[in-house]
Amino acid sequence: MTPVRPPSRGVVCLPALDVRRRPDHRSELRSQLLLGEVVRRLGQGRDRKWWRVENLEDGYVGWVRTWGIVPAGTRRANLWRRRARCRVVRSHAEVRTGRGSGALVSPLFLNCRVIPGRSNGRFRWVELPDGRCGWIEARAIQVGFRGRPSLVERVLGLLGVPYLWGGRTPMGMDCSSFTQQVLLEQGVLLPRDADKQFRSASRLSRGQPPREGDLVFFGVGKGPVGHVGLALGGGYYAHSRGRVRINSTLSDNPLWDSELADQFRGFRRPLRRPLRGGPGGARRAESA
């Protein structure tokens, strides 16, 4: 009998699925996957409760529990991508069995993706990757990137979000997931980690001032880049350090962060093109 091949793809069906260094809940939290993202299966644990996956959005690799993945072949995964046209545009939203009431089907976070259905007043019917359905406030989701908030508006809405190593949602973000998720909403795809964001961005020419949405980098000594933020203009930048906050690169500004001054590596401009992914790899320790 020919053995049945396990599916090559999967769609994330939890609002946030932890990505671990090893197939063990006690292992380091390296990142998180968002509901609706598609992964490629690279292997599985001996007990078949864990998959080693690559996030096809940013190329990041790690171990996840299978309870957060809907197995799918390439065709089914591509079909999901075509149909899941709506992104969540709020920090937190809820899908419920009724229009603004009823049992909770699932919470959703910023940039989660769902299949849109019919509208009824202020609410819209949506479908999740595992077939669960329910109503969500229509203004909490948008098709594509039209009507998106400005970068500054999004940053202001995330101020105070606590720092969480490996976190990728407004419940907790590290520095590189903050820049990644904010710029994703602006149509810019970034790698997952600060050092890879540094390598993928272009150096500004001599005398060229940074503009809103450029990346600002920091690193200890001559080591690799370990911290990243978003330029806001006028020397201001937003970053996740303890919490999402705004600081300044100018020493005469009250928001100057003196602890980061010696680590400043300069500004770079993210490339506005789709990211093709990569091998992933170990998380770099952040210098913040």
Instruction: Identify which of 189, 66, 80 has the alpha carbon closest to the alpha carbon of residue 179.
Output: 189
DSSP type of residue 128: -
pLDDT in tens, 241-286: 999 999 999 999 999 999 999 999 999 999 875 444 343 455 655 6
pLDDT tens per residue across span 50-76: 999 999 999 999 999 999 999 999 999
**What confidence tens digit (pLDDT) does each residue in 190-213 have?**
999 999 999 999 999 888 899 999
Backbone angles phi, psi at 138, to 5 degrees: -60, -35
Q: How many CB atoms lie within 10 A of CB 96?
A: 17
Common-topology check for domains 84-143 and 151-269: no
> Tens of pLDDT along 179-193?
999 999 999 999 999
Residue 128 CA to residue 278 CA, distance in Å, equals 27
| Residue 218 near residue 260 (C-beta atoms within 8 A) | yes
Mean pLDDT computed over 114-121: 95
Instruction: Give the dihedral sign, CA 16/169/132/36.
Output: negative
CA gap 3, 204 in Å, rounded = 54
Of the chain, the percentage scoring pLDDT greater than 70 comes to 92
pLDDT greater than 90 at residue 4: no
- Residue 142 above 90 pLDDT? yes
Q: What phi, psi does 154 have (nearest 5°)?
A: -65, -45
Q: What average pLDDT score do residues 78-84 get?
A: 96
Q: Tokens 């997931």 — which residue?
A: 177
pLDDT for 222: 83
Average pLDDT, the chain: 92
Would you state the pLDDT for residue 184?
94
pLDDT of residue 286: 65
CA-closest candidate to residue 16, choices 85, 80, 88, 81: 88
Select the CATH number that applies to the domain covering 151-269 from these four: 2.60.120.260, 1.25.40.10, 3.90.1720.10, 3.90.550.10.
3.90.1720.10
Sorted by where each begins, the domain ranges of the chain are: 9-80, 84-143, 151-269
Look up residue 174 and give its amino acid. Answer: D
Contact 172, 147 (CB under 8 A): no
Across 15-22, average pLDDT: 98
- Nearest Cα to 136, choosing from 168, 106, 158? 106
Architecture of the domain whose range is 84-143: Roll (2.30)
Output the pLDDT for position 284.
57
Question: What is the average per-residue pLDDT within 100-124?
Answer: 96
Q: Does domain 9-80 have CATH number 3.40.50.1220?
A: no
If pLDDT is split at 50, 70 and 90, which confidence band does 215 have?
very high
Q: Which residues contact 84 (CB under 8 A, 6 or more apart)?
A: 36, 113, 114, 115, 129
Q: Is the pTM of this model over 0.85?
A: yes
Predicted local confidence at residue 282, as pLDDT = 53
User: What is the spatial distance between Cα 239 and Cα 248, in angstroms, rounded to a whole number?
Assistant: 11
Q: Which two tokens stand for residue 15?
A: 């609002």
> CB atoms < 10 A from the CB of 105, how many?
17
How would residue 158 be classed by pLDDT, with cut points 50, 70 and 90? very high
